[in-house]
Every structure is written in C-alpha cells, then in structure tokens.
Amino acid sequence: MVLQANYWGLQRLFAPWRLPVDRSGAVAGGLDGLKAHYAQLSKRWGFDVTPPESTLNVLGYQILNRDDLQGALEVFRYNVELHPDAPNVHDSLGEALERGGKLPEAFSSYSRAVDKARALDDPRVDVFKANRDRLREKL
C-alpha cells in the first residue's frame, strides 16, 4: 500500500509538468501555449524551467508538417535561442529554411550544426554533413 501511495502522490505532484495537447496530439496553443506552460511551471516551482530541445523540435516539425512554414521557423529559431550549442537545433532550422527556399540561410544553419557536432563529438555529425553537402550542390 505504501508503494502505491507514493506512486499516486508523485503522479499528482508532477501532473502539471505534462504538456497540454489538443485532439491531434499537438501542443495546445502552439508555441505560445508551450511558452505559457513553461512560464507557469517556472512560477510554481520558483526557478526558471525552460522547454527541452526535443520538445521544441517535435513542435516545430508538427507545425512544419501542417505546411505552416512561418510558424515552424518561429519555433526552430526559439529553439536555437534557448539551446545554441545543440547541433540538432541548427540542423532542424536549416531544414525549415531549405523548405522555404532560403537556401543561403539554410546552408549557414547546416554548417553551424556540423561545427557544433564536431565540437561535441556528436555521433550525428555525418547526418549534418550530408545535409550541408547536399545543399551545397544546389547552391
């Protein structure tokens, strides 16, 4: 019984951490909803709680897959702002920029992803290089 009570207590304590989602499974309210959620968590816990890189990345691709390029770019740029040293955020931004036809900007973003990945010895460096080199051929 004690184990079950601990489980229920922790579940109730951390329930506010769950991101609100709409019927489609996307973050309710998009980027603004996500920012409001994390602002509320920060206020509740008394310290700055920032959205994880992966959460923002998923949101960005959800929006991009709905053909809302501007909305996706806003999310990906926000992710770069919060996590500037993470190679994947630059790669994702590059992909959105490339889909939008902003090829020079996309190339710069892909190049930053490669540089950051090399500095961190990231195992995905070859993926980032392939994206950069593929775009270099288009330019």
CA-wise closest residue to 106 among 68, 67, 139, 84 = 139
Q: 12 falls in which pLDDT band (50, 70, 90)?
A: confident
- Over residues 110-136, the mean pLDDT reads 97
- Over residues 107-125, the mean pLDDT reads 97
Copy the structure tokens of residue 64. Answer: 């991009």
CA-wise closest residue to 31 among 57, 6, 7 = 57
Q: Residue 135: count other Cβ atoms within 10 Å of its Cβ.
A: 20
* DSSP code for 18: S
Token pair 């691709």 in the structure block, residue? 61
Provide the CATH topology of domain 53-138.
1.25.40
Q: Which residue has the higher pLDDT, 9 or 78?
A: 78
Taking only the tens place, the pLDDT of each residue in 65-106 is 999 999 999 999 999 999 999 999 999 999 999 999 999 999
CA distance 88 to 54: 9
Q: Provide the pLDDT for residue 15.
A: 63
Beta strands in the chain (DSSP E): none
At 102 the three-state DSSP class reads: coil
Q: 62 falls in which pLDDT band (50, 70, 90)?
A: very high
Copy the structure tokens of residue 83. Answer: 């996590």
Question: Where along the chain do its domains lie?
Answer: 53-138
- What's the pTM? 0.86
**Residue 57 is inside which H or E element, if any?**
helix 53-65
CA distance 123 to 3: 40
- Over residues 117-139, the mean pLDDT reads 95
Taking only the tens place, the pLDDT of each residue in 14-61 is 766 777 778 877 788 899 999 999 999 999 889 999 999 999 999 999
* DSSP code for 27: B
**Residue 92 is inside which H or E element, if any?**
helix 87-99
